[in-house]
Structures are given as structure tokens and as C-alpha cells.
Amino acid sequence: MPEMRVAVSGSGNMGQHVMAAVDAAPGMQVVGVLDGLAEAETIALPGGADVPLLHSVDGLDSLEADALVDFSNAVWTEALLPHALERGVRPVVGTTGLSDAFVDQMVEQSVAAGVGGVIASNFALGAVMMMHLARIAAPHFEAVEVIEQHHDGKVDAPSGTAMTTAREMRAARGSDFRRNVAERETLPHARAAEFGGVTLHSVRLPGLVAHQEVIFGGVGETLKLRHDSISRESFMPGVLRALREAESLDHIVLGLDRLLGLVD
């Protein structure tokens, strides 16, 4: 079997880990990297080989890639993804901050083109399990809050994982959660953001990677679900799995949980 030719979009923290993971995975090779803000013409893979570093969306065309792994920025992803689908390149997208309308449009485009792919707000298997358990608990509790914690380089808030968790807990419950609204807020936004009655707190600090706690409140009890990505390597098994499974898909699947068969 020929090796899967993988283009990597984004050469930041996640892009570097993706390059290393794909480079080391049997049956796959990194054929090039796309990054709209980078300046160099080539980039060295951890194994030592240099591959082209391209600065425009059109750069994808020269790479003859079978698949694309994108961890970059929503502005860039919204230009690159339609282009990849038009060319039959299977996308595995982890970039967060994408609008719901854009994601829906990409699923439609993938169905029309018959191109498989995965868009997931979290590729860590433990985080996917945490979200699954939160969905199971959601119908049985009246109130819940989410505290997500990330490194201080993160540009969007709340995190994609926190938004997905809130959306899916709200859907599993079928109605908004009951939420305490402060009668008097001595500082604006002290009660944080809200979606479907779920309060969402975003912590940004150096030293953190990606962490989330979901706290359900009931009568005389609380239930806490917590996940910690202590290294960005935690996302790589999910990314490699998505790359392999996308080969046999004919549309974009949303979420690693669907790929793992945890939800329909």
C-alpha cells in the first residue's frame, strides 16, 4: 500500500506535534506544511528531513496530499478547508473557534464531494470520555458549571471543548439548566459566560495545557468530572485514528465521539 501523503496546516505548538506523530506513524508521511504567517520556505521534520513550508492556501495543490491535518487559526481554516474539499483532500481539523455555520457548510460540501474527514474540538480520548459521561449525567441534574483551563497563548474563549460540552449537555437534558444569577455583581461578568443555563468559566495561565472540570450540583451532593491534557501528545492518538478512519468515510464526521461510536 502506498503511504498516506499528509499535509500539515499550522506550524505552531500543535502543528509541531502533528509533524512528529505523522512522521513516526507507519504508512504515513508528511509531504509539506502550510502556514499563512510563517516566513521560511522549508521546515525540518523531527526525523531530520526538510519539507516545503507554503504560505498560501493554493500551496496545498502542489503537495498532492491525500489528507490534511489542520491545527491553526479559524481565519485560515475557513479559507483552507473549502479548498481542500474541492480537491478531494481529506481534512482532519482540530482548530477551534470555527462558526457553527461554517462547520455545517463544510459537512454539506463534504457530502456533495464524497470526501471523508473529521472536525473535532478535542482529539484527546480522555476528554471525549469526559464529554460522554457529562452527556449521560446531564438529564439527572438541574444545575452544572464548567471550568476550563488553558495556556495563556489560547486566542478563543470559551474553549471549543467547553462549548461542545455545554451544547451536548443541554441537548441531552432537553431544556436549559437552572442557573444562579447574582442579584448584585460587584464586578461585571463575575458569573462568567452562559450557554443553555450552563455557566462557563475560562482560566488562562502560563503553565497550563488543556484541562476541564464539569461540576454538577444536586440535592446535598455534587458530581465532578475532570480531564487533564498534561501534554499536547495527548491529542495525537486521536489525530492518527481520525486520519486512518477518514480514508473509509465519504463525509465529514463531527467529533471523535462519533468516530468512536459513542454517539450516533
Ligand X SMILES: NC(=O)c1ccc[n+]([C@@H]2O[C@H](COP(=O)([O-])OP(=O)(O)OC[C@H]3O[C@@H](n4cnc5c(N)ncnc54)[C@H](O)[C@@H]3O)[C@@H](O)[C@H]2O)c1
Residues involved in catalysis: 150, 154
Distance CA 160, CA 128 (A): 12
Backbone dihedral angles phi then psi of residue 193, each to the nearest 5 degrees:
-90, 165
Residues 140-199 that bind ligand X (CB under 6 A): 153-154
Window of 8-16, 57-65, 191-199, 215-223 that interacts with ligand X by CB under 6 A: 8-16
Q: How far is the CB of 255 from ligand X (least distance, A)?
A: 10
Instruction: Name the residue nearer to ligand X (CB basis): 71 or 177.
Output: 71
Q: Counting runs of H as helices and runs of E as strands, what totals does the chain give?
A: 8, 13
Q: How far is the CB of 179 from ligand X (least distance, A)?
A: 26
Instruction: Name the residue nearer to ligand X (CB basis): 77 or 216.
Output: 77
For residues 111 and 165, the answer to whether their CB atoms sit within 8 Å is: no
Select the residue interacting with ligand X from 12, 196, 197, 217 (CB under 6 A): 12
Distance CA 62, CA 163 (A): 36
If binding is defined by CB under 6 A, does position 40 make contact with ligand X? no
Instruction: Name the residue nearer to ligand X (CB basis): 10 or 59.
Output: 10
For residues 124 and 178, the answer to whether their CB atoms sit within 8 Å is: no
Select the residue interacting with ligand X from 15, 32, 59, 158 (CB under 6 A): 15
- Contact track, ligand X, 72-91, x by CB under 6 A: xx-xx---------------
For residues 232 and 209, the answer to whether their CB atoms sit within 8 Å is: yes
3-state class percentages of the chain: helix first, strand second, coil last, to nearest 5: 35, 25, 35
Q: Which of 37, 2, 1, 27 is nearest to 15 (CA)?
A: 37
DSSP annotation of 233: G
Select the residue interacting with ligand X from 6, 7, 8, 10 (CB under 6 A): 10
* 221 contacts: CB under 8 Å, gap ≥ 6: none
Helix (H, G, I), strand (E, B) or coil at 125: helix
If binding is defined by CB under 6 A, does position 11 make contact with ligand X? yes
If binding is defined by CB under 6 A, does position 110 make contact with ligand X? no
Window of 95-103, 162-170, 190-198, 213-221 that interacts with ligand X by CB under 6 A: 95-103
Window of 44-52, 94-102, 190-198, 200-208 that interacts with ligand X by CB under 6 A: 94-102
Hey, what's the cell of 153?
A: 497563548
If binding is defined by CB under 6 A, does position 207 make contact with ligand X? no
If binding is defined by CB under 6 A, does position 13 make contact with ligand X? yes
Backbone dihedral angles phi then psi of residue 245, each to the nearest 5 degrees:
-70, -30
Q: How far is the CB of 123 from ligand X (least distance, A)?
A: 4
Number of residues that bind ligand X (CB under 6 A): 26
Select the residue interacting with ligand X from 29, 96, 110, 149 (CB under 6 A): 96
For residues 90 and 250, the answer to whether their CB atoms sit within 8 Å is: no
Cα–Cα distance list, 263 to 128, 131, 208, 211 (Å): 11, 11, 30, 23
Write out the residues near ligand X by the rule CB under 6 A: 10-15, 35-38, 71-73, 75-76, 94-97, 120-123, 153-154, 235
